[in-house]
Structure 1
């Protein structure tokens, strides 16, 4: 163990209780027993944190309990003193002199931490959706923090990153070039960042939201181990908090996983505007991981993160793709398949009319709505919001895939008008009606409430002239769609 010498007796007590050596980081030792986990903060001062005093360790353990318990009440139990009795013996929660403080938690099987789930290939689509839902719920429960100078805060993060990256031995020329490029992004986005702060997007967030700090607790995705030692580093835009998770997903699993979480989060929150700052936020998060990994595991291990930090600051230009057609043609499947390959990291924002309708009703996408939620006025409001969100994301430089039936000429004209200066490609999916009937009848757990009767009524209406690219959707339309968009010659 590398516990400081003045904590050796307490560490030995905890080791006896746990029956094994601790899991250690540079700032803590975590003793995992069969029924309890004991966390000891090391008496260290590292510049960015100072746990060297007994009072500081008590304060930050209590703060850790306070900020994590709301999201993980079954995981975080209490903070107890390690005490020395009159005979010199040590105990937890005794009546003698307090010599240290310990956080008690419930144990979590090692295989239930989401970095371990990812490593074994277990992050399937439903679990990715559950991750996004958990982050949405975490952020939604946090009150806005007014008064933060968000651009200045990002500049402080950047300068700290630069100092740490150079100290970790990352290539100086590349680090300094990245710093210069990032400063340019912060300056350019300053009005946007300030407007988001004024709109309430700055909150006391998790601050360290990567897969290793998410677990499955009673089958539910649970965030834990929020950053407790620096309020400034955790009082941030919710989009910057989310960006750490998106960066981690893209690095570990590829762009499709990160894109799915981004789009599920946007479907729940309605915060499509955050994509304008994603290149900046993803780059800062990747740069943080680059110097942390370089310091802990060697410069070579940090270089892939440095390369990611550089790459996301040179995004592909935005494009607007609209996917329309009757119910059951596979619009949403196609939209999700295309999105990761389009535009800036981690791929296009997918705006689905069915998900917007559910969010407007305050419901998750899979909840069903009554027929009166589908009045002409309600549908017009949904399409208006879809168009507005698409235009906002495109103005921010991010690609969009709009997913709706678009059965009326005015709906198609409206989405095309959202393009601004971006290219527009419309994809129209078609399939035999008997195929569509079977697909709609078989749907379960989908955001669409359409049944076969809705399909039949829609099929009986004339959609007017279709000028979009017509794609046969009786089979898989993804290769043909990729060909239309010029993505890898139409390959899968």
Structure 2
């Protein structure tokens, strides 16, 4: 197959052919700055536009062909159900155009299976809160992509960060929609934050956490197909732009969930990701405020660039851009962390309370939840829902579980991130160790001990499904005889609704500041 070199007018002829109602009825065309997408009933064709920007070059047919091949290579492992193949647009001797005809190729397209565009997560986020199952699935999809992402040299990415911060500032200044003083303050705060975390980022590079990632994981590039989130449209035009720390990749999704007012989902994604990836990620949470702030600033300036008339009346796009900018400001200046300990006998609702409180505990996207039941399962290298034998609950094993909880918290709190520890805390020594941990990390401690009658606890235990806890009704009855000792934590009546328990603890946390 020979190649010819069309100019822009030839591309427009191809685009007209693909939308001709006599040959392609019902086709819809969507244009972006770098591509035109043609949507049919069950197929989408994506053609690279004959353009050249500082960050990409599609100016020749050879380059567009290579870009199509690279897009499929990068995205098919993430979304095999979407990315089919590359097809040629050919020209017959009489000048007529065909898809995969016998004439020379004058253009190439990525052929994809069309999905429901209303099922991208940015659309779903507008319909209501994401549930915990979706948050878990999002985190699992991202962690799976990071597990197969090739490791790359770190210094190049880290060296680009100062220029990226300055580039955001330059883009935000265009049009005069954002205060120059605020832009400069954000830039200075970002540079200061980079100085604080640069050594950590460099260490993560040496540990292999800089990888060839998706690179553009905002909610519009994640779609729900058959009930599961699928990552698509990863960056293919610039390997360096997508060669980043995995937390920078994750941070885009976390930031965008916050922007779309999906804070519980953002917290759920973070906690699931931390629970299923390398433990060293707990040591790097201090880099998240900067990385999420940079992502928010990028989205703000991208939207500002779409504002067609610089001095037009405030539009939806402009409002959205300003919200992203405000989020960038908030994220770069996180409040101090705190330690929250949630104790109580089995069935009092500790784990549900911890999950409900976590999104509400600053800094964003909320506290890291450390659950004793999960740690115990990890200690024995089984899945969370596998049942452990009674020997796994001997005092020496339980002591080891509490040691691991404290060790994980010691990793997170110095990073400036809050922690919620979810465990029974039936022993005075266990509660004393939580207090000592808070003092060592110089953070306030809020301790809550939940109480509920035996019948309530046993009913809740009986209703559990697919949970990490191995507690039974019999265990709950045995716990009635525990000698809890003197409680210097807030005793919280947890016999009512989860929301009532949460609100009582929120009042208690406000008093502990």
TM-score above 0.5, yes or no: yes
Of 377, 388, 398, which aligns to 1:370? 388
- Aligned partner of 2:16 in structure 1 is 12
Distance, in Å, in 2 between the alignment partners of 1:290 and 1:261 is 23
- Aligned partner of 1:25 in structure 2 is 32
Deviation at 1:122, TM superposition (A): 5.7
Cα deviation 1:261-305 (Å, max 9, x = unaligned): 212222222432332111101110110011011111364442111
Q: Does 1:92 align with 2:92?
A: no
Distance, in Å, in 2 between the alignment partners of 1:153 and 1:411 is 46
- Aligned partner of 2:136 in structure 1 is 129
- Aligned partner of 1:184 in structure 2 is 192
Deviation at 1:188, TM superposition (A): 0.9
Of 71, 75, 83, which aligns to 2:82? 75
Distance, in Å, in 1 between the alignment partners of 2:448 and 2:406 is 16
Distance, in Å, in 2 between the alignment partners of 1:375 and 1:485 is 31
Aligned length: 486
Quickly say closer, same or farther: Cα 1:434–1:413, change in 2 above 3 A. same
What is the 5 A alignment of 1:237-248? 237-248=245-256
> Is the 2:134–2:228 contact (alpha carbons within 8 Å) kept by the matching residues of 1?
no
Report which stretch shifted further, 274-283 or 382-391. Answer: 382-391
Q: TM-score, normalised by structure 1?
A: 0.92
Distance, in Å, in 2 between the alignment partners of 1:239 and 1:111 is 27
- Aligned partner of 1:348 in structure 2 is 367
Gaps of 5+ in 1: none
> Is the 1:202–1:237 contact (alpha carbons within 8 Å) kept by the matching residues of 2?
yes
Partner of 1:156, secondary structure, is helix
Distance, in Å, in 2 between the alignment partners of 1:380 and 1:156 is 48
Partner of 2:235, secondary structure, is coil
- Aligned partner of 1:435 in structure 2 is 456
> Is the 1:322–1:403 contact (alpha carbons within 8 Å) kept by the matching residues of 2?
yes
Quickly say closer, same or farther: Cα 1:237–1:248, change in 2 above 3 A. same
Distance, in Å, in 1 between the alignment partners of 2:270 and 2:302 is 25
Runs ≥4 residues deviating over 6 A = none
Quickly say closer, same or farther: Cα 1:4–1:326, change in 2 above 3 A. farther
Q: Does 1:152 align with 2:171?
A: no
Q: TM-score, normalised by structure 2?
A: 0.89
Of 273, 276, 280, which aligns to 2:290? 280
- Superposition CA RMSD, Å: 2.3
Report which stretch shifted further, 278-287 or 129-138. Answer: 129-138
Q: Does 1:296 align with 2:306?
A: yes
- Aligned partner of 2:470 in structure 1 is 449
Report which stretch shifted further, 85-94 or 392-401. Answer: 85-94
Deviation at 1:388, TM superposition (A): 1.4
Cα deviation 1:96-153 (Å, max 9, x = unaligned): 2221110001110123222121111162222122212221222222233244355423
Deviation at 1:82, TM superposition (A): 1.4
Partner of 1:40, secondary structure, is strand
- Aligned partner of 1:262 in structure 2 is 270
Quickly say closer, same or farther: Cα 1:166–1:6, change in 2 above 3 A. farther
What is the 5 A alignment of 1:154-233? 154-167=161-174, 169=176, 170-233=178-241
Partner of 1:418, secondary structure, is helix
- Aligned partner of 2:61 in structure 1 is 54
Distance, in Å, in 2 between the alignment partners of 1:472 and 1:295 is 53
Distance, in Å, in 1 between the alignment partners of 2:102 and 2:380 is 55
Distance, in Å, in 1 between the alignment partners of 2:140 and 2:445 is 31
Of 485, 493, 502, which aligns to 1:478? 502
Q: Does 1:395 align with 2:414?
A: yes
- Aligned partner of 1:339 in structure 2 is 358
Distance, in Å, in 2 between the alignment partners of 1:446 and 1:224 is 31
Cα deviation 1:302-329 (Å, max 9, x = unaligned): 2111111111122111110110111111
